[in-house]
């Protein structure tokens, strides 16, 4: 069943592999998640220049993530994503929660080798548009972020409220992804998953405050007592 759901929702107009599942959660589940996120202790939030975030499960590190138990309200959705089989026999053990206000975004980047090469993102509160770019080769000299965005751009994905995005294979490892800093998104032929979206007749969407739950598996974990030399 899970394999059929995944294969039926594959994005065919981008390199392998992206899968888009609209209405992965209900509006009631969305409201419950938002309530839990915004009632989290204030020290749980880390403020960056363009967004706020929360780390759950530990802080990924090249020497190993000191694993923390995920709260039950997150585990319910970690298991729901894990049951799709995209992490094979592994259970996701880390959730990064990002808050984006209208006009906020993130520069093109990759998630890197600290994680199992699969990423799942649940979207709450608002849509966004996720843009994909070819990585510049080592020999290329790109003078600016704008040059990267114009010369290496390959397409975008519309992420609706309550949807799930799954990314793996070459699209995870060989391409960059980012979100433009804008308040209005134009829906045109650059949106490569439009046939899978619930929204069909709109030509532009205004952004609201958005929360993303990025669910991943960190293979290298260590226990706190090992780090601190305790038995």
Mean pLDDT, consecutive 10-residue segments, the chain of 231 residues? 75 97 97 97 93 95 92 96 92 96 95 92 98 79 58 94 97 96 96 95 95 96 61 41
Q: Can you give the pLDDT at residue 230? A: 44
Q: Can you give the pLDDT at residue 3? A: 62
Q: State how far the Cα of 162 lies from the Cα of 73, in Å rounded to an integer.
A: 16
Q: State how far the Cα of 54 lies from the Cα of 189, in Å rounded to an integer.
A: 34
Q: Can you give the pLDDT at residue 37? A: 98
- At 137, give phi and psi (nearest 5°): -75, 165
Q: Can you give the pLDDT at residue 18? A: 97
pTM above 0.85, yes or no: yes
For 79, half-sphere exposure in the C-beta direction (CA atoms, 13 angstrom radius) is 7
Q: State how far the Cα of 53 lies from the Cα of 228, in Å rounded to an integer.
A: 27
């Amino acid at each position: 069943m899970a394999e059929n759901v995944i294969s039926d929702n594959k994005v065919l107009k981008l390199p392998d592999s992206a899968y888009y599942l609209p209405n992965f959660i209900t509006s009631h589940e969305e409201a419950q998640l938002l309530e839990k996120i915004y009632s989290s202790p204030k020290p749980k939030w880390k403020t960056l220049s363009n967004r706020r975030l929360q780390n759950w499960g530990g802080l990924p590190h090249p020497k190993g993530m000191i694993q923390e138990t995920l709260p039950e309200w997150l585990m319910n959705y970690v298991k729901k994503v894990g049951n799709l089989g995209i992490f094979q026999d592994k259970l996701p053990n880390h959730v990064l929660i990002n808050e984006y206000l209208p006009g906020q975004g993130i520069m093109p980047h990759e998630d890197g080798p600290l994680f199992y090469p699969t990423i799942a993102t649940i979207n709450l509160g608002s849509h966004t548009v996720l843009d994909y770019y070819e990585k510049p080769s080592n020999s290329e000299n790109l003078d600016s972020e704008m040059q990267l965005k114009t010369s290496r751009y390959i397409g975008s994905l519309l992420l609706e409220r309550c949807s799930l995005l799954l990314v793996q294979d070459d699209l995870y490892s060989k391409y960059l992804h980012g979100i433009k800093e804008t308040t209005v998104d134009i829906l045109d032929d650059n949106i490569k998953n439009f046939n899978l979206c619930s929204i069909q007749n709109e030509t532009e969407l205004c952004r609201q405050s958005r929360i993303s739950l990025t669910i991943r598996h960190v293979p290298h974990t260590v226990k706190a007592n090992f780090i601190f030399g305790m038995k």
